[in-house]
Each structure stands twice: as structure tokens, then as C-alpha cells.
Amino acid sequence: FFFSSRRRHTRCSGVSWARRCVQETDLIRLEPFTKLNVDLQSGRFDIPDRLFFSISSTWDSAYQNTGDVKELIPQFFYLPEFLKNINNFNFGSKQCGNVVNDVILSLIHI
């Protein structure tokens, strides 16, 4: 009753859905991923504190929190433009006041 014999229905696993979301979030600075991310977040950018902001803070989070699973997306190896906010999108500011713009490549911990 829920499935029509004329339509093929597929189901995404939670992992594949999560990977797609992570990839769209990592590539948010480039179209068409900007639009895909905005569509995923009901017409707006996600909360700035959850956006990809810094390589070192992402590493620290994944290293210290076993629930924060990360993957290097292929674009890390051939598309450095995804780290720059070349379209000057306004992603907002984190709670600490830092503006989310280009991805920070390194951060010195003192």
C-alpha cells in the first residue's frame, strides 16, 4: 500500500546521509553546495558554530570526541578553492565572536 509497483523506492542509510551532509557542509563556500546546504537547513545557513571553520579545531574535535567522525573529502587534494569564501557569503559569527569566512588553515595553541 505504501509502494507503487511502478515506482522504485530507495532508502539511504544514516551513514550515507551523514556523509552527504558533511560533504555539503565542508563545501559550503562553493556553489552548488552553498544552495544545497541552505536547502538542507530550511532556507538559511546552519548555525555558525557548526560550520567548517578551522582545520585545527576540526582535528581537535574529531581527535577528542569519538562521536565526531570526520572524513577527508577528495576536494582536499585537488580543490583548494573550497577553503576560501570567494563569493563573500555571510555565514555569521560564532558564539566566541569569530566571524566565519575563509577556513583557517592552522591555529597556534598557546
Confidence band of 13 (pLDDT split at 50, 70, 90): very low
Q: What is the mean pLDDT of the chain?
A: 80
For 77, list phi and psi in degrees, rounded to 5. -95, -10
Grade residue 20 by pLDDT with cuts at 50, 70 and 90. low
Q: What's the CA angle centered on 45, arms 30 and 31, to 5 degrees? A: 15
Inform me whether the pLDDT recorded for 8 exceeds 80: no
2, pLDDT greater than 50:
no
Which has more confidence, 60 or 107? 60
Three-state SS across 66-89? Answer: CCCCCCCCHHHHCCHHHHCCCCCC
